[in-house]
């Protein structure tokens, strides 16, 4: 089962490698991982999308929590939450037809064309993983994807709930 | 007024002094020469020069296990630090408080594949509780102070501190201050068990008809043995210990049913398998205990008390988890038992003990020693017990001799049984015994070892000469790697692939070459006399080389993939 974990940790050198090392050492899966400092520069926030049954997930949460640098970890999947991922995709746009199609699909998905080359468009789209997958499939029907980059998901709980010190 | 300034190397030594460190175990080298120079110029801390850094970690480890203090290791960068890896892993697996100070090349050279550069923080990441990479003078006292705090609190473990050369050198000075009252916002180990869980646990205990108490290394590490004994006597239930937990309750206590697990007693494993409630205290349901987890104690409600939440429900699902310090939780349990006016169900207890005594009567640890045959290794351990009255510090290596020692030396007190349980590190025994002897020079300190294990750190006989550490080494010499050979006999059709030792040295001469006393024992009728003779030599190390029966196997033994209580009692005899 896919789970999204939000982790608040000390923004120290080596903190990231401790988490990544833990996942490989204990054979836990990482589907995606994003990390950046928070508004409080002494803290980093990481979002990990992982796959595992309840027993594995319990171990992941406990093991991550055990790391000295980690302040808090929550599984946001069970509750109402917001999940977003950023996609940048560069596609071939050589003919009027393909340009129009890319523009149309991008509008439907509420993405933006943010750069153009002589024969390419670069499109930006945010959303959950499912939306991004659907967008890529739609593009593939109409044109050729030259490259794509995804950020991995970030997430937080809806409403008043917050992950903070 | 001008503030006095110190070099980083001086700060290292001053920090260790402030934390009341008495010994550092280590080996010098380029990147830490400044620290060695600072050690030379003071007399509060004694440095013990080993002959291999692995031995430094085991010495610090043995010292920590016997005293409860943090063991301190100092090694140079590169190979010095990597030689510590096995010792760090050993301490990690058994939750031993240790701080390893590792030199590093200058910060400007890090990442350049400089001479004797190894990323020791990276190398040790999976086998440490935490690590620090110092990058400036000011980092040093803070890192050392935090390292001691982290190593010794919660579930203890090793901490590595990396110290680059350029922050240690005399050209670089700064003011020194150290904070010993440590608070770390991201590290707050639980102390008290949750009151609701305590209530649930006591309710389950009160309902139990066949309760077993299963205690582990956590009892020893937290010096909770008196409280454990009180709890055990209140509940009147049988108690079993893990390999790491031996001595947590006296080995001769009438409610003690022996060690459990792979080479545990039949009565311990049978009691676990038939229990309706298992109270696990500071133990972690290791695979050497459980055997096949699918078949593990199907009828038992499991109460699991542990300081480390990750240990709970990792291998065996706990019905009533309690996270907290085991001594605190045991007091909470005792208080709750007293609040409900607990008295054990005498009828159920009588039936339960009748059943256990039937298993006890099988005498699963028995062995056959004929007078005119080769010495059985078990007999040697029994003789050691007799001579030392159960009060020696027994440090073992890893293999058959380790199991024989665990089975046949009933430990009267905690911290007396010192062995590498989790990691199973051969070569651990001698340096660990040296660390113990340093801490307790007037006590009997025995290293029970084998002809394989002793050779993995035999160079430390030299360190023993230098620091006058008169440990008694007893080698159960079977001219083979006994445990490997046993498995090959049982599982691999008797094909002894690389499990025999050709060209063993004459250990008596080896001991003598280092300035020690060597004694060889060949025959049963000279065993006790010569062992007694060895213990009467107080001021010199005695190496006793005992020729034992190479065909002897460790029994009883769990049958692979079976339940906890499915055991071989003898060759071809199932329980």
Largest CA distance in chain A: 57
Residue B168 confidence (pLDDT) above 90: yes
Tokens of A70: 């980690």
> What's the CA dihedral at B555, B556, B558, B563 to 10 degrees?
180
Q: Do A66 and B184 touch (CB under 8 A)?
A: no
Residue with tokens 């993405």: A111
HSE-CB of A132 using CA atoms within 13 angstroms: 20
pLDDT surpasses 90 at B313: yes
User: Distance between CA A46 and CA B119 in Å, rounded?
Assistant: 25
Q: What would the 3-class secondary structure string for B267-297 be?
A: HHHHHHHHCCEEEEECCCCCHHHHCCHHHCC
Cross-chain CB nearest to A21 (options B125, B308, B309): B125
Domain ranges of chain A: 2-75, 83-154
Alpha-carbon distance values, B492 to B162, B401, B485, B510 (Å)? 45, 21, 9, 34
Cβ contacts of B126 on chain A, cutoff 8 Å: 21-22, 25
From B483, B507, B543, B557, the catalytic residue: B483
Whether the CB of A66 is below 8 Å from some CB of chain B: the reply is yes
And the tokens for B86? 């096995």
Does the beta carbon of A142 lie under 8 angstroms from any beta carbon of chain B? no
CA-based nearest residue in chain B for residue A8: B186
Q: Is the Cα dihedral B410, B97, B227, B190 positive or negative?
A: negative
Q: In the numeric block, which tokens belong to residue B393?
A: 């510090």
Query: Which runs of E-coded beta strand occur in B93-242?
Result: 98-104, 130-133, 158-164, 173-175, 211-215, 239-241
Q: Do B309 and A65 touch (CB under 8 A)?
A: yes
From the candidates B22, B116, B466, B566, which is the catalytic residue?
Answer: B116
Chain A neighbors of B186, CB-CB under 8 A: 9-10, 68-71
Stretch A63-88: mean pLDDT:
95
Mean pLDDT value of segment A8-26 = 95
Region B212-218: what's the mean pLDDT? 98
pLDDT of residue B409: 98
Distance CA B267, CA B320 (A): 25
Q: Do strands B573-574 and B567-570 pair parallel, antiparallel, or not at all (unpaired)? A: antiparallel
**For A2-75, which CATH class?**
alpha beta
Assess whether B294 carries a catalytic annotation: no
Query: Which pLDDT score is estimated for A1?
Result: 86
Judged by CB atoms closer than 8 Å, whether chains meet at A59 and B314 is answered as yes
Domains in chain B, please, with CATH?
Answer: 5-175 (3.40.50.970), 195-360 (3.40.50.1220), 377-551 (3.40.50.970)
Minimal-distance CA residue of chain B relative to A11: B186
How many Cβ atoms sit within 10 Å of the Cβ of residue A156? Answer: 17
Q: Do the Cβ atoms of A14 and B126 come within 8 Å?
A: no
Q: Is B230 on the interface with A (CB under 8 A)?
A: no
Is 80 exceeded by the pLDDT of residue B2? no
| Binary contact (A71, B122; C-beta < 8 A) | no
Are the CB atoms for A56 and B307 separated by under 8 Å?
Answer: no
Contact B263, B367 (CB under 8 A): no
Interchain contact A18–B (C-beta under 8 A): yes
The CA distance from B130 to the nearest CA of chain A, in Å, is 7
The answer to whether A71 contacts B186, with C-beta atoms less than 8 Å apart, is yes
Q: What is the pLDDT of residues B99-143, one digit of tens each?
A: 999 999 999 999 999 999 999 999 999 999 999 999 999 999 999
Nearest CA in chain A to B132: A14
The backbone region for A135, taken as left when phi is positive above 0, alpha when psi lies in -120 to 50, beta otherwise, is alpha
Mean pLDDT (chain B) is: 97
DSSP A7: E
pLDDT tens column, B398-439: 999 999 999 999 999 999 999 999 999 999 999 999 999 999
Residue B357, Cβ neighbours under 10 Å: how many? 11
Q: How far apart are CA B194 and CA B370, in angstroms?
A: 55
The confidence band for B46, taking pLDDT boundaries of 50, 70 and 90, is very high
φ and ψ of B402, to 5 deg: -65, -45
Residue B295 known to be catalytic: no
pLDDT band at B83 (very low <50, low <70, confident <90, very high): very high
Nearest to B173 by CA among B10, B384, B374, B396: B10
Query: Which chain A residue has its CA at the smallest distance from B123's CA?
Result: A21
B364 HSE (CA, 13 A, CB side)? 33
d(CA A50, CA A48): 6
Minimal Cα–Cα distance from A108 to chain B, Å?
45
What residues pair up with B154 in beta bridges, in sequence order?
none
Q: Which residue of A has its CA nearest to B317?
A: A55
Distance from CA of A134 to the nearest CA of B (A): 38
Confidence of residue A165 (pLDDT cuts 50, 70, 90): confident
Question: Looking at residues A46-74, what average pLDDT do you find?
Answer: 96
Please say if the pLDDT value at position B3 is more than 90: no
d(CA B528, CA B46): 37
Probe site for chain B from A20, A62, A63 (most B CB atoms < 10 A): A62
Helix (H) or strand (E) holding A120: strand A120-127
B529, two tokens? 């006399």
B333 CB-near residues (< 8 Å, 6+ apart): B198, B201, B202, B205, B231
The conformational region for residue B75 under phi > 0 = left, psi -120 to 50 = alpha, else beta, is: beta
- CB of A133 within 8 Å of a chain B CB? The answer is no
Clarify whether B53 is annotated catalytic: yes
CATH number of A83-154: 3.30.70.1150
User: With contacts defined as CB-CB under 8 Å, which chain A residues touch B134?
Assistant: none
Does the active-site annotation cover B116?
Answer: yes
Does the active-site annotation cover B468?
no
B131 touches chain A (CB under 8 A): yes
Between CA B492 and CA B485 the distance in angstroms is: 9
Please tell me which of the candidates B126, B133, B184 has its beta carbon nearest to residue A25.
B126
* Cβ contact B185–A70 (<8 Å): no
Contact predicate B103/B27, CB 8 Å: no
B159, closest residue in chain A (CA to CA): A68
Query: Is any Cβ of chain A less than 8 angstroms from the Cβ of B129?
Result: yes
- CA quadruple B400, B425, B270, B328: dihedral sign: positive
Pairing of strands B46-49, B23-27: parallel
Contact in structure between A73 and A7 (CB atoms under 8 Å): yes
What's the longest Cα–Cα distance across chain B? Answer: 82
Query: Is any Cβ of chain B less than 8 angstroms from the Cβ of A41?
Result: no
Range B162-178 average pLDDT:
97
**In percent, how much of chain B has pLDDT > 70?**
100
CB atoms B186 and A9 under 8 Å: yes
Cβ–Cβ below 8 Å for A59 and B131: no
The reply to whether omega before B556 is within 30° of 0 (cis) is yes
Q: What is the CA radius of gyration of chain B?
A: 25
Give the model's confidence band at B73: pLDDT under 50 very low, under 70 low, under 90 confident, else very high: very high
What was the pLDDT predicted at B329?
98
Ramachandran class of B282: left when φ > 0, alpha when ψ lies in -120 to 50, beta otherwise: left
The whole-number average pLDDT for the span A61-85 is 95
Mean pLDDT of the region B351-377: 96
**pLDDT digits 0-9 by tens, A78-99:** 889 999 999 999 999 999 999 9
Q: Identify the closest residue of chain A to B314 by CA–CA distance.
A: A59
Q: Residue B84: what pLDDT? A: 98
ipTM of the complex: 0.93
Q: Is the pLDDT of residue B1 over 80?
A: no
Do domains A2-75 and A83-154 share one topology? The answer is yes
Chain B neighbors of A59, CB-CB under 8 A: 310, 314
Answer whether A42 touches B (CB < 8 Å): no
Distances (CA, A) of B453 to B80, B134, B230, B488, B504: 22, 36, 38, 18, 12
**Two tokens at B235?**
């509940």
């Amino acid at each position: 089962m896919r789970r999204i974990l939000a982790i608040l940790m000390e923004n120290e050198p080596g903190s990231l490698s401790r988490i990544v090392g833990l996942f490989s050492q204990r054979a836990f899966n990482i589907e995606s991982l994003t990390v950046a400092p928070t508004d409080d520069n002494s803290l980093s926030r990481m979002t990990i999308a992982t796959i595992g049954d309840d027993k594995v997930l319990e171990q992941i949460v406990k093991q991550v929590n055990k790391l000295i640098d980690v302040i808090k970890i929550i599984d946001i999947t069970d509750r109402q939450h917001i999940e977003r991922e950023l996609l940048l995709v560069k596609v071939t746009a050589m003919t009027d037809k393909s340009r129009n199609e890319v523009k149309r699909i991008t509008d439907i998905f509420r993405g933006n064309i943010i750069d153009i080359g002589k024969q390419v468009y670069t499109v930006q789209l945010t959303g959950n993983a499912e939306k991004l997958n659907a967008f890529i499939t739609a593009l593939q029907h109409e044109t050729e994807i030259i490259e794509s980059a995804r950020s991995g998901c970030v997430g937080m709980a809806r409403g008043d709930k917050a992950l903070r010190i | 007024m001008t503030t006095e300034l110190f070099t980083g190397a001086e700060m290292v030594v001053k920090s260790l002094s402030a934390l009341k460190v008495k010994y550092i175990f280590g080996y010098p080298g380029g990147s830490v020469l400044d620290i060695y120079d600072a050690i030379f110029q003071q007399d509060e801390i004694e440095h013990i020069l080993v002959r291999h850094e692995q031995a430094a970690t085991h010495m610090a480890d043995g010292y920590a296990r016997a005293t409860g203090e943090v063991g301190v290791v100092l090694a140079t960068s590169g190979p010095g630090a990597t030689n510590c890896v096995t010792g760090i892993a050993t301490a990690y697996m058994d939750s031993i408080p240790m701080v390893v100070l590792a030199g590093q090349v200058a910060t400007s050279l890090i990442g350049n594949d400089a001479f004797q550069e190894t990323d020791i923080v990276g190398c040790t990441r999976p086998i440490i509780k935490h690590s620090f990479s110092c990058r400036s003078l000011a980092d040093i006292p803070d890192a050392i102070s935090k390292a001691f705090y982290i190593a010794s609190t919660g579930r203890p473990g090793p901490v590595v501190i990396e110290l680059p050369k350029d922050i240690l050198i005399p050209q670089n000075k700064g003011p020194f201050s150290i904070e010993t009252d440590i608070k770390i916002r991201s590290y707050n180990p639980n102390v008290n068990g949750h009151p609701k869980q305590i209530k649930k646990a006591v309710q389950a205990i009160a309902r139990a008809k066949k309760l077993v108490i299963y205690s582990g290394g956590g009892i020893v590490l937290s010096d909770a043995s008196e409280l454990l004994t009180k709890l055990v006597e209140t509940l009147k239930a049988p108690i079993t210990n893990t390999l790491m937990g031996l001595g947590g309750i006296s080995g001769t206590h009438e409610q003690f049913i022996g060690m459990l697990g792979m080479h545990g007693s039949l009565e311990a494993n049978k009691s676990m398998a038939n229990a309706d409630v298992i109270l696990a205290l500071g133990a972690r349901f290791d695979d050497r205990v459980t055997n096949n987890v699918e078949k593990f104690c199907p009828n038992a409600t499991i109460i699991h008390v542990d300081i480390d939440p990750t240990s709970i429900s990792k291998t065996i699902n706990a019905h009533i988890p309690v996270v907290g310090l085991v001594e605190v939780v045991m007091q909470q349990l005792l208080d709750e038992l007293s609040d409900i006016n607990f008295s054990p169900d005498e009828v159920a207890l009588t039936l339960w003990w009748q059943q256990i005594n039937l298993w006890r009567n099988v005498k699963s640890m028995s062995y056959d020693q004929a007078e005119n045959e080769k010495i059985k290794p078990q007999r040697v351990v029994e003789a050691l017990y007799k001579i030392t009255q159960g009060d020696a510090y027994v440090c073992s290596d890893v293999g058959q001799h380790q199991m024989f020692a665990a089975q046949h030396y009933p430990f009267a007190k905690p911290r007396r049984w010192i062995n590498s349980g989790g990691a199973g590190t051969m070569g651990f025994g001698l340096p660990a015994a040296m660390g113990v002897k340093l801490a307790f020079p007037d006590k009997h300190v025995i290293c029970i070892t084998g002809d394989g294990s002793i050779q993995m750190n035999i160079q430390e006989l030299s360190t023993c000469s230098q620091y006058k550490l008169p440990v008694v080494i007893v080698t159960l010499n079977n001219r083979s790697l006994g445990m490997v050979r046993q498995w090959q006999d049982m599982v691999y059709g008797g094909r002894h692939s690389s499990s025999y030792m050709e060209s063993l040295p004459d250990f008596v001469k080896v001991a003598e070459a280092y300035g020690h006393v060597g004694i060889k024992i060949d025959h049963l009728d000279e065993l006790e006399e010569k062992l007694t003779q060895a213990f009467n030599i107080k001021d010199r190390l005695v190496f006793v080389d005992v020729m034992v029966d190479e065909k002897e196997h460790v029994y009883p033994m769990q049958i692979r993939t079976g339940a906890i209580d499915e055991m071989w009692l003898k060759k071809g005899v199932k329980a």
